[in-house]
Structure 1
Amino acid sequence: MRRHRRAKIVATVGPASNSPEMLKALFLAGVDTFRLNFSHGTHEDHAKVHAHIRALEKEVGRPIGILQDLQGPKIRVGTIKDGKITVAKGDTIRFVLKGQDGDRDAIPLPHPEIFAAVLPGHHLLIDDGRVRVKVTSLGDDAMTAEVIFGGIISNRKGVNLPGTLLNLSPLTAKDRADLEFGLNLGVDWVALSFVQKPSDMIEARGLIGDRAGLMAKIEKPQALDQIDDIIRLSDAIMVARGDLGVEIPQEEVPGRQKELVRACRLAVKPVIVATQMLDSMVAAPTPTRAEASDVATAIYDGADAVMLSAESASGSYPLEAVSMMDRIIATTERHKLYHSLIRASEPAEEQTPPHAVAAAAADLAEAVRAPVIVAFTSSGTTAARIARKRPEVAILAITADQDVSRRLCLLWGTHSALSEDIHSYEQMVEVASAMSQSAEFAKLHDQIIVVAGIPFAQAGTTNNLRMLQIGG
């Protein structure tokens, strides 16, 4: 089940893909990690999908990652008389904290945290930015605003506040219940929505501990202002370009994507590029050329993974979407400019022994044309340090921890495999030789590079580098 590409594929599960047969077909087509979107579906629905994926994992004998994506707080207008109102540029409208069946003079906005934080001059974006208004005056429970972009405001449409830092936890009561359910199921990753500041990550970490990897979804401009601290407190990052593209100018999104991918690579944290990557394939069997280019750009940027949302969850062509993404990634990685572009964005080496050993392993493997770098890892960090170099050589990450092997399904260029704990140098050599052959990365008499931490089974050491000949 070796993948002949480096970047990973994350696919969202939904009505179009939740059967055991389709999950297996999607995995065989290239999915490395499945996303369970807790904005939709019941706990029973997600439990069934989780069980199907774990049964598939056992059948194919390969680790499969499962990502739980929490809904987060949703800010919406209330109900409006006759269901909708039409506003035009230059109109003055009024929002109120309490009320229902409102009109343009009393549009319900039942979120006290907005009235506590918003200031004159701040903008509200309604229905994914289709309507934009600017606050002109406000009181404790009402505010007036000028319409900048007109349109239709209808019941329960979402509201974004790009310039306002809200005193709002990213974890609602629903999220907390969903989180506990997901952790009890045994999800590998938890994606936190509506992250604004580092303390949001600390709050989530207090609930999750080490039961799953913690992923920050970057979809708020406030998060960009403190991104280094948010990355430091996360185990991975998702570039959630949907809401981010609503709250910052669209033309800034590509540059921000590159910044985030580079920052995560520097911090040795996996990064997913997400949202509408092959969006036209929700209803068509092929993508647009712009979408194919979008996926390729994320690969040239050095992203660890790219994600499908509605394409695999509710679209008409989930299998075709995964197959297309797999082909785009593989073709991009074979392009003659790929490695030079990846090297051009390589961050400076960290001046620490573990990073030096990992970097030396990547350089040595390329110098001697080794077919694989074998990384023994108890936490995944050794493999991540090697992957940070984006070597041309495959990485085989061997771990005794099943949870770690599943989380490594998000890491660039890494094929994870389970083994018993290693207790001696001789055992390390034996296991590295055997598993690199069984996984079809190397054959008899090949030179391979082995990286480990001694003493064995101790997280974070990465202090030993060896070149060995299989069967030599």
Structure 2
Amino acid sequence: MRRQRHAKIVATVGPASASPDKLRELYLAGVDTFRLNFSHGTHQDHAAVHAAIRALEKEVGRPIGILQDLQGPKIRIGTLKDGSFALSEGETIRFVLEGRDGDRTSIPLPHPEIFEAILPGQDLLIDDGRVRVKISGLGQDYIEARVVTGGRISNRKGVNLPGTVLDLSPLTAKDRADLAFGLELGVDWAALSFVQRPSDLIEARALIGERAGLVAKIEKPSALEHIEDIVRLSDAVMVARGDLGVEIPPEEVPGRQKELVRLCRLAVKPVIVATQMLDSMVGAPTPTRAEASDVATAIYDGADAVMLSAESASGQYPVEAVAMMDRIISKTEQDKAYRAIVTALRSEIEESAPHAVASAAGNLAQAIHAPCIVAYTSSGTTASRIARTRPDVAILAVTPDENVARRLCLLWGAHSVRSEDIHTYEEMVEQAEVHARTAGLAQPLEFVVVVAGVPFGMAGTTNNLRVVQLRPDRV
């Protein structure tokens, strides 16, 4: 079940894909990590999907990652008179803190933190930016604004505030309950929505500990202002282009995407590019050419993973969408320009022994035409350091920890396997031979590069590099 590509696929589970049979089809089509979107569905729904994925994992004999995506604080207007009305460019409207069945002079906005933080001249967007207003005046319990881009608004539509940092935790009471449930189930990753500042991650880490990897979703301009600290405090990053593309100008999104991918690669953190990648496949069996190019661009950028949302959760062609994404990734990585582009984007290697050893592994594998690099990793760090260099061979990540093996399903190029602890060089060589052959990555008499840390089993000690020739008598 080894993928013939380096970049990974994350697929969201929903009504179109929640059955055990459909999950199996999606996995066979190319899914490496399944996303459980806690903005929708009940705990019972998610528990059933989680159990089905773990049963599938046993059936196929391969680790499968599960990512829990928390909803985060959703800011919405309240209810309106007659359910909706149209706003015209240039007119003045008023938002109020309390009220219901509002009109253009009393649109309910029941979020005190907005009234405390927003300033005149700042923008407020409604319904994913379809309606844009600029704040012109403030009162204790009202906000006046001028309509810049008109349109119809209706009950409970979402609100974005691109220029305003709110005194708001990204973890609502619902998120805390969902997170506790997800950790009890045993999710591998927990994604934090609407991160604004580094302290948001510290708050989440206190709840999660080491029970799951922490993913920071980048969808707020304020997060971009503190991006280096946010990346440092997270275990992985998701470039959530949906809300991000509403809160910053659309023309800035491609550059920000490239910047985030490069930054995460430098920091040795997996990065997922998400939202509307094959959006037309929600209702059509093939994507647009622009969407195919969008997926390919993320792969050329060096992203660890690309993600499907509605395409696999509620679309009519979930399996076809995964298969299409798999083909686009594979074809892109086979393109003659791919290796040159990925190598050109390679970050400077940190001046430390672990990073130097990991970098040397890729160069050595290329020099001796090794078919794979075997990385012994107790925490996933050794494999991540090797993946950072984007070597032109598979990374066989061998770990004694089942949870680490599952998290590595998000890492570029990693084919993770669970194995017993090793204690001696002899065991290291023997297991490297066995796993390389069992995975179909190497044949007898071929050389493989082996990277490990000594003492064995100690996290973060990438300090040993060996070349091992597979013997013909090994099974």
Question: TM-score scaled by structure 2?
Answer: 0.99
Following superposition, the deviation at residue 468 of structure 1 comes to 1.1
Following superposition, the deviation at residue 360 of structure 1 comes to 0.4
Q: Which residue of 1 aligns with 2:179?
A: 179
Structure 1 residue 227 corresponds to structure 2 residue 233: no
Following superposition, the deviation at residue 139 of structure 1 comes to 1.1
The secondary structure found in structure 1 opposite 2:164 is coil
Give 4+ residue runs of structure 1 displaced > 3 Å after superposition. Answer: none
CA distance in 1, matches of 2:7, 2:13: 20
What code does the residue aligned with 1:453 have? G
Deviations along 1:218-263, one digit per CA (max 9) or x if unpaired, are: 0000000000000000000000000000000000000000000000
CA distance in 2, matches of 1:76, 1:18: 29
CA distance in 1, matches of 2:159, 2:176: 22
What code does the residue aligned with 1:54 have? R
CA distance in 2, matches of 1:213, 1:414: 17
Deviations along 1:48-105, one digit per CA (max 9) or x if unpaired, are: 0000000000000000000000000000000000001111110000000000000000
Structure 1 residues 25-104: aligned runs within 5 Å? 25-104=25-104
The secondary structure found in structure 2 opposite 1:273 is strand
What code does the residue aligned with 1:402 have? E
CA distance in 1, matches of 2:431, 2:141: 67
CA distance in 2, matches of 1:89, 1:178: 41
Q: Which residue of 1 aligns with 2:328?
A: 328
Structure 1 residue 315 corresponds to structure 2 residue 315: yes
Q: Which residue of 2 aligns with 1:359?
A: 359
CA distance in 1, matches of 2:101, 2:150: 20
Deviations along 1:381-417, one digit per CA (max 9) or x if unpaired, are: 0000000000001100000000000000000000000
Deviations along 1:412-440, one digit per CA (max 9) or x if unpaired, are: 00000000000110000000001100000
Q: Which residue of 2 aligns with 1:423?
A: 423
CA distance in 1, matches of 2:144, 2:172: 28
Following superposition, the deviation at residue 281 of structure 1 comes to 0.1
Structure 1 residues 211-226: aligned runs within 5 Å? 211-226=211-226
Structure 1 residues 162-311: aligned runs within 5 Å? 162-311=162-311
Q: Which residue of 1 aligns with 2:141?
A: 141
Q: Which residue of 1 aligns with 2:371?
A: 371
CA distance in 2, matches of 1:52, 1:428: 34
What code does the residue aligned with 2:132 have? R
What code does the residue aligned with 2:191 have? A
Structure 1 residue 108 corresponds to structure 2 residue 97: no
Deviations along 1:319-372, one digit per CA (max 9) or x if unpaired, are: 000000000000000000000000111000100000000000110001111000
CA distance in 2, matches of 1:441, 1:140: 67
CA distance in 2, matches of 1:319, 1:360: 39
Following superposition, the deviation at residue 140 of structure 1 comes to 1.4
Following superposition, the deviation at residue 198 of structure 1 comes to 0.1
CA distance in 1, matches of 2:367, 2:289: 37
Following superposition, the deviation at residue 127 of structure 1 comes to 0.2
Structure 1 residue 457 corresponds to structure 2 residue 464: no
CA distance in 2, matches of 1:308, 1:85: 34
Q: Which residue of 2 aligns with 1:433?
A: 433
CA distance in 1, matches of 2:167, 2:197: 10
CA distance in 2, matches of 1:237, 1:430: 36
Following superposition, the deviation at residue 153 of structure 1 comes to 1.2
The secondary structure found in structure 1 opposite 2:273 is strand
Q: Which residue of 1 aligns with 2:7?
A: 7
**Unaligned ranges ≥5, structure 1:** none
**Unaligned ranges ≥5, structure 2:** none
CA distance in 1, matches of 2:294, 2:318: 18
Identity %: 74
The secondary structure found in structure 2 opposite 1:332 is helix
CA distance in 2, matches of 1:320, 1:85: 39
The secondary structure found in structure 2 opposite 1:95 is strand
Deviations along 1:114-148, one digit per CA (max 9) or x if unpaired, are: 00000000100000000000000001110100000
Question: TM-score scaled by structure 1?
Answer: 1.00
CA distance in 2, matches of 1:444, 1:153: 67
RMSD: 0.5
The secondary structure found in structure 2 opposite 1:456 is coil
CA distance in 2, matches of 1:43, 1:304: 29
Following superposition, the deviation at residue 173 of structure 1 comes to 0.3
Deviations along 1:150-201, one digit per CA (max 9) or x if unpaired, are: 0011100000000000000000000000000000000000000010000000
CA distance in 2, matches of 1:449, 1:153: 60
Q: Which residue of 1 aligns with 2:157?
A: 157
The secondary structure found in structure 1 opposite 2:153 is strand
CA distance in 2, matches of 1:143, 1:393: 58
CA distance in 2, matches of 1:464, 1:140: 64
What code does the residue aligned with 1:82 have? D
What code does the residue aligned with 1:372 have? C
CA distance in 2, matches of 1:468, 1:23: 38
Following superposition, the deviation at residue 317 of structure 1 comes to 0.1
